[in-house]
């Protein structure tokens, strides 16, 4: 299918912790035979290097974030055939042509974030306790949002990177399993190139 994606040079996948964005990025990259860049893995390595836990976003110097986001923008502008999965990838892609931006959410029918499902996914993925997963998701969500608002949104208290206006497609993993999410994404990518 990769050859059929005319007018799409790169794809971004963003979502809150435990939403399923990493899983979708991995499966989509396998299906399209594209490269995947996992922003979460990169940031976890940085956190390890500076001796901070994954949920201690505030201990990461700002220059790491700023340099990382500039690198993402450069890849999106100058390269092809990448799936970039990170919180801000879709936001970074604003105004860059031929980038298909996907947001992954876990929301019920009324649009409420299902934090309990995201926590469960983190427990299953990382093998942590429920208490640790709750703390990690709540603290990382809070600290990431505070930092991102300060660095990229002039401390706008209403700004969120998961605002649908930044995306071409929203995939809700509350009612889609991994395979269904992949198939829906492939269908929408195909429609976008017709």
DSSP three-state, residue 16: coil
* Confidence band for 2, pLDDT divided at 50, 70 and 90: very low
Per-residue pLDDT tens over the stretch 28-68:
999 999 999 887 666 666 666 667 655 566 777 888 888 88
Q: Tell which residue, 86, 110, 66, 77, has the closest CA to residue 19.
A: 86
**DSSP states of 113-134:** B-HHHHHHHHHHHH---HHHHH
Is the residue at 141 inside a domain? yes
| Full domain range(s) for residue 110 | 2-171
pLDDT at position 47 is: 60
pLDDT at position 43 is: 65
Cα torsion for 147, 21, 25, 95, to the nearest 10°?
-50
Is the residue at 185 inside a domain? no
Is the residue at 67 inside a domain? yes
Top-confidence residue, 3 or 191: 191
**Chain-centroid distance, C-alpha 100:** 13
Number of domains the chain contains: 1
Is the residue at 178 inside a domain? no
pLDDT > 90: percent of the chain: 68
For the entire predicted model, the pTM comes to 0.90
pLDDT at position 1 is: 39
**DSSP states of 131-160:** HHHHHHHHHHHHHHHHHHHHHHSTT-TT--
Contact yes or no for 7/98 (Cβ under 8 A): yes
Is the residue at 191 inside a domain? no
- CATH at residue 36: 3.40.50.300
Is the residue at 190 inside a domain? no
What value does the mean pLDDT of the chain take? 89
Q: Tell which residue, 105, 94, 100, has the closest CA to residue 34.
A: 100
Is the residue at 96 inside a domain? yes
Is the residue at 128 inside a domain? yes
Q: Is the dihedral of CA 73, 75, 78, 80 positive or negative?
A: negative
């Amino acid at each position: 299918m990769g050859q059929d994606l005319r007018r799409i040079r790169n794809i971004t996948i963003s979502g809150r912790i435990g939403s399923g964005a990493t899983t979708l990025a991995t499966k989509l990259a396998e299906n399209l035979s594209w490269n995947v860049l996992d922003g979460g893995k990169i940031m976890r390595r940085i956190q390890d290097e500076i001796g901070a836990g994954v949920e201690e976003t505030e201990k990461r110097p700002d220059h790491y974030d700023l340099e990382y986001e500039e690198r993402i923008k450069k890849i999106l502008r100058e390269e092809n055939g990448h799936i970039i999965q990170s919180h801000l990838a879709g936001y970074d892609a604003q105004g860059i042509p031929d980038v298909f931006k996907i947001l992954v959410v876990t929301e019920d029918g009324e649009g409420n974030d299902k934090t309990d499902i995201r926590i469960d996914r983190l427990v299953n993925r990382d093998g942590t306790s429920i208490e640790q997963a709750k703390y990690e998701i709540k603290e990382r969500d809070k600290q990431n949002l505070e930092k991102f608002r300060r660095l990229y949104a002039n401390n706008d208290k209403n700004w969120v990177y998961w605002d649908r206006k930044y995306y071409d497609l929203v995939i809700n993993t509350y009612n889609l399993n991994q395979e269904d999410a992949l198939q829906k994404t492939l269908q929408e990518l195909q429609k976008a190139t017709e």
